[in-house]
Amino acid sequence: MEPVYFDSAATTQVRDEVIQVMQDALLNSYGNPSSTHAFGRASKSIIENTRKTIAKELHASPQEIIFTSGGTEADNMILRCAVRDANVTTIITSTIEHHAVLHTVEELRNEYDVAIEFVKLQACGTPDYNDLERLLKANDERKLVSLMHVNNEVGNLLDIDKVAKLCQENNALFHSDTVQSIGHYKWDVQKTPIDFMTAAAHKFHGPKGIGFAFIRKSNSLKPLIFGGSQERGFRAGTEPVHNIKGLEKAFVLAYENLDEEREYVEGLKNYFKSEIKKAIPEVKFNGNCSDNSKSTYTLLNICLPMSVEKALTLQFQLDLKGIACSKGSACQSGSGKGSHVLEQILNEEDRQKPSIRFSFCKYNTKEEIDYVIGVLKEFVEK
Task: List the one residue out of 203, 194, 167 whose CA is nearest residue 12.
Answer: 203
pLDDT recorded at residue 307: 85
Taken in order of first residue, the domains within the chain and their CATH numbers are 4-12+258-381 (3.90.1150.10), 16-256 (3.40.640.10)
DSSP-based helix, strand, coil % in the chain, nearest 5 = 45, 15, 40
Note the pLDDT tens digit of each residue in 299-351.
999 999 998 888 888 989 999 999 999 985 444 444 456 799 999 999 999 99
Note the pLDDT tens digit of each residue in 146-202.
999 999 999 999 999 999 999 999 999 999 999 999 999 999 999 999 999 999 999
> Residue 320, CB half-sphere, CA atoms under 13 Å: how many?
8
Q: Give how far Cα 212 sits from Cα of 77, 260, 310, 354, Å.
A: 11, 25, 42, 34
- Of the residues 81, 289, 303, 331, only one is catalytic, namely 331
pLDDT recorded at residue 332: 45
pLDDT < 70 stretches in the chain: 328-337
> Angle at Cα 367 formed by Cα 361 and Cα 372, nearest 5°?
80
**Catalytic-residue membership of 124:** no
Burial class (CB in 10 A: 0-12, 13-18, 19+), 349: exposed
What's the pTM?
0.95
